[in-house]
Structure 1
């Protein structure tokens, strides 16, 4: 096994990361979770939103795509800025944008307005996500970075487990607009908690190059084949995940007549799978290597995606014919996301913010594609979701097996 060496001035001290304690873990988990809670919480409300805003199924699914546009492009802005100015200040500005955008969603009176303010909401939310990953790289290296990433995702998954369930209950009690007012409160509480978070990138480790040079540095990253392998594996998988997020409310609630309040329970099964695979990944990554686990996870996602496409086309197995392969597909998250992010960050530790931003932009850029394709080809059946997930999951598997050299890196 090979543990990648880093240059001494920029390598983080793992023992320094251990000293920061559980409150840092909690804040980083919350920041990383903004990408998901901003969407998962309102998934059960999508059909009701469509009726209230007089919008079609496909148009409401584009509220996910609009969010991903802001989330993908925003990361490219926040990453280089944080490498130069530190992590905390950009996160604070991002949270303010998130609060404003969430309030705009609650007040929206048309689908087009909703899509527009979702872009603003996402541009703020992505700051916390991209910079929480960079903070992990500031504090940890090697297999410990992959372990910490898995731990964060596991803690975050607890909130995701509750998201659709809580959203369904808020919908039943107070209507869909109350869901976005709840997000306003979450954003304000996180902004307050940010005062307890230490700055993980001290001035002596910040990049001194101009911001313009930092932005143009993305080109060098895109010429790195191994980086492209990590980014492609995670990116294609995220595209498939957002096809799942955009498609399952209508596949379950509209097509298979699952009550909106119980949709969250089906969604929660996938979150349990994510938590289990992340815990397993954290235990195995030191002995088996993050690259090997990444390849296995991508292969499993591709296989389950193909099975899903077949059951969605034939309607074999009814509801469970969809739910079972979707559970297997979602469970692969624990082996793909943490290892692909840690692998990409390990390639260029002196550009953790920019690397995290480009990885995130790739992930959510393909998420735009995945959710938009499901919306564009929506025909009232699960078939569009099935073939989109299968195609993108195969892309993830090919990236892992063809672009990442087999060094069994940990």
Structure 2
């Protein structure tokens, strides 16, 4: 006697467009948040370590260079291993790099941790774009991405004033923790 066929579990219900837009805005917003939030802290951070302005600029240059180049690696990895594990790995790496920045004892360590943040940000931004491509037809995907980029713009506009407030209230390490 054969056993009754078991039905596969139903696929996850699709996320509402508003939820997708919010998640995408946050993922795409990692880069402007990570850059604009800490810019008001640069003078006090540089003074705390007795660093030069070129060293301070290197924290941004290294992060942005790592961000751009890492997407060339994250993309094929997400095709091979899936979006979720790559995205989660990148987000965990980003949090760990942020903690590393906060507890850095030298300016060189901050440059290293900011470079790692850039690498990790690449996973978030690449993942956001890939998610849109996976979930939506081109026309609908363009609409969703447009709304998400509006959210990114809002985050970018709020990041610098928030960074200044955090630096004023809690010092430069607070801006790097956020």
What TM-score bracket applies, with the shorter chain setting the length? 0.7 to 0.9
Equivalent-residue separation in structure 2 for 1:35 and 1:47 (angstroms): 20
For residue 94 of structure 1, report the CA deviation from its aligned partner.
0.6
For residue 156 of structure 1, report the CA deviation from its aligned partner.
1.7
Equivalent-residue separation in structure 1 for 2:166 and 2:152 (angstroms): 20
Match of 2:77 among 78, 81, 91: 81
Q: Identify the residue that residue 31 of structure 1 maps to in structure 2.
A: 27
- Partner SS for 2:120: helix
**Normalising by the residue count of structure 1, what TM-score does the alignment of the two structures yield?**
0.39
Q: Identify the residue that residue 149 of structure 1 maps to in structure 2.
A: 145
Equivalent-residue separation in structure 1 for 2:126 and 2:76 (angstroms): 11
Which gives a bigger RCO, structure 1 or 2 (Cα 8 Å, sep 6+)?
2
- Partner SS for 2:105: coil
1:189-211 deviation line (CA, Å, top 9, x unaligned): xxxxxxxxxxxxxxxxxxxxxxx
Equivalent-residue separation in structure 2 for 1:142 and 1:99 (angstroms): 32
**Aligned residues of 1:95 and 1:124 also touching (Cα < 8 A):** yes
For residue 130 of structure 1, report the CA deviation from its aligned partner.
0.6
**CA 23–143 in structure 1, closer or farther in 2 if over 3 Å, else same:** closer
For residue 72 of structure 1, report the CA deviation from its aligned partner.
2.1
Q: Identify the residue that residue 407 of structure 1 maps to in structure 2.
A: none
Root-mean-square deviation (Å): 1.7
- Partner SS for 2:114: helix
Equivalent-residue separation in structure 1 for 2:91 and 2:136 (angstroms): 25
Equivalent-residue separation in structure 1 for 2:69 and 2:154 (angstroms): 27
Q: Identify the residue that residue 102 of structure 1 maps to in structure 2.
A: 98
Equivalent-residue separation in structure 1 for 2:65 and 2:112 (angstroms): 10
Q: Report the more deviating stretch, 85-94 or 66-75.
A: 66-75
Match of 1:57 among 53, 59, 78: 53
For residue 147 of structure 1, report the CA deviation from its aligned partner.
2.6
Equivalent-residue separation in structure 1 for 2:42 and 2:175 (angstroms): 11
Q: Identify the residue that residue 338 of structure 1 maps to in structure 2.
A: none
Structure 2: state its 5+ residue gaps: 1-12
- Partner SS for 2:50: coil
- Partner SS for 2:29: helix
**Normalising by the residue count of structure 2, what TM-score does the alignment of the two structures yield?**
0.86
Alignment of 1:278-289 (within 5 A): none
Q: Do structure 1's residue 176 and structure 2's residue 172 form an aligned pair?
A: yes
Equivalent-residue separation in structure 1 for 2:138 and 2:27 (angstroms): 22
**Aligned residues of 1:102 and 1:180 also touching (Cα < 8 A):** yes
Equivalent-residue separation in structure 2 for 1:60 and 1:25 (angstroms): 34
Q: Identify the residue that residue 366 of structure 1 maps to in structure 2.
A: none
- Partner SS for 2:28: helix
Structure 1: state its 5+ residue gaps: 1-15, 183-410
Alignment of 1:8-407 (within 5 A): 20-182=16-178
1:239-293 deviation line (CA, Å, top 9, x unaligned): xxxxxxxxxxxxxxxxxxxxxxxxxxxxxxxxxxxxxxxxxxxxxxxxxxxxxxx
For residue 141 of structure 1, report the CA deviation from its aligned partner.
3.4
Equivalent-residue separation in structure 2 for 1:60 and 1:121 (angstroms): 16
**Aligned residues of 1:34 and 1:126 also touching (Cα < 8 A):** no
For residue 139 of structure 1, report the CA deviation from its aligned partner.
2.2
For residue 81 of structure 1, report the CA deviation from its aligned partner.
1.4
Equivalent-residue separation in structure 1 for 2:158 and 2:37 (angstroms): 8
For residue 157 of structure 1, report the CA deviation from its aligned partner.
1.5
Q: How many residues align?
A: 166
**CA 131–97 in structure 1, closer or farther in 2 if over 3 Å, else same:** same
**Aligned residues of 2:33 and 2:159 also touching (Cα < 8 A):** yes
